[in-house]
Structure 1
Amino acid sequence: MKVKMLSFLLMTAGLAIFAYGGWKIFDMNRQTDISLTEAKEAIASSQSVRSAKHPSAPASFKPANGEAAGILHIPRLGAQLPIVEGTSPDDLEKGVGHYKDSYYPKQNGQIVLSGHRDTVFRRTGELEIGDKLKIELPYGSFEYEITHTKIVDQDDTSIITLQHEKEELLLTTCYPFSYVGNAPERYIMYAKPL
């Protein structure tokens, strides 16, 4: 009798964990879709303003935390990912997080975008040196080319320099890609503006 009860409890716990995981994936995809729609709307409305000879100044572009700021296009992967201001767990559930103290295109500094390896950046391991990336924002579209990659320890924050000397794009995600649980390293992709 005790074996049957233990088996029942283990099966119930397994189903609950499976259901919770399924819900989290569904909810994250839903939030990402909402953020992508918001980003597309912001870009579309600003394009009509720009075409009316009122361009947004890149220096004044500072979205609020959690706000959809733009879109990251990764042509090789056929990906169109919303960029959300901030890198808190809630922000990263909505899309690719923009590290809040980093810069945006044409602000002449380091642009840092982060995402989960098992959601928005699940296929980044397929990217190669020379692949193109495009950031679309309310004040314009900007292209980049991946120049090199690096793997660092999860606690290594030295790659985020927040330098304000030249424009560079960094994409960061957890590594190894197939690791189960909290990954011990970070995968960094560096890209230069074209």
Structure 2
Amino acid sequence: MIRKLALLCLALGIILIGYGAWQFVQGKTEQHHTLKTAKALTTVKEDPVQYKNWNPKKGDTIGILSIPRLKANLPIVEGTSEDQLKKGVGHYKTSALPKQQDQIVFSGHRDTVFRHFGELQKKDKIIVKLPYGNFTYVIDHMKIVDQDDRTIIHSTKPKEELVLTTCYPFHYIGNAPKRYIVYAYPSKKN
């Protein structure tokens, strides 16, 4: 009886590991495909005033978030649902985009696109590449808040602010109780 129970536990463990590996590979494949689309999108320079009327639909690939310190080029997708975050970094639909002089909010999973997020430091650069241009931001500060803190997302008009969010602690198993927030502001060279 004990032997059968041990074999059952072993089989269950193998199935769970296999399922986790399959989900990881599937996520990487989706992100790779989305990044290819984003690269094609951002190589075409459109009318520089396009940002005034640009209104991407949820699920659309809209650009690339480049983080030199992490050697990361991450696809940006419109929206922050679970399906959208599987494809890359999600842009909060109600927040602004570069050049709109307001708060820009991007979110990503700590165990996928923002896996090394804790390595970011003050004064690191973050580059947002969109069809109408590339925009460089410099990290000013970071903070940790409760998971249900809704004061993070708000208008900063006319001051442009880039906010990156992910779950915290980074190596927590399950739904993390906190959020790690990075604040960056336009580089003087923009």
TM-score by length of 2: 0.95
- Partner residue, 2:42: 43
Pick the aligned partner of 1:74 from 67, 75, 88: 67
Q: Deviations over 1:43-85 (max 9, x none)?
A: 22x32xx3xxx44511112211111100000001110000000
Please identify runs of 4+ aligned residues in structure 1 that moved more than 6 A.
none
User: Using the alignment, how far apart are the partners of 1:149 and 1:192 within structure 2?
Assistant: 12
Give RMSD over aligned pairs: 1.0
Pick the aligned partner of 1:168 from 161, 164, 167: 161
Pick the aligned partner of 2:185 from 185, 189, 192: 192
Q: Does the 8 Å CA contact 1:168/1:190 hold for their aligned counterparts? A: yes
Q: Deviations over 1:65-124 (max 9, x none)?
A: 111100000001110000000000000000000011101000111000000001100101
CA-CA distance at 1:148 after TM superposition = 0.6
User: Using the alignment, how far apart are the partners of 1:55 and 1:103 within structure 2?
Assistant: 16
Spell out the pairing of 1:114-193 with structure 2 (5 A cutoff).
114-193=107-186
User: Using the alignment, how far apart are the partners of 1:164 and 1:172 within structure 2?
Assistant: 20
| Deviates most, 55-64 or 110-119 | 55-64
- Partner residue, 2:5: 6
Q: How many residues align?
A: 187
CA-CA distance at 1:165 after TM superposition = 2.5
Q: Does the 8 Å CA contact 1:56/1:138 hold for their aligned counterparts? A: no
Task: Extract unaligned runs of 5+ from structure 1.
Answer: none
Aligned to 1:93, the other structure's residue is in SS state: helix
CA-CA distance at 1:162 after TM superposition = 3.4
Task: Extract unaligned runs of 5+ from structure 2.
Answer: none
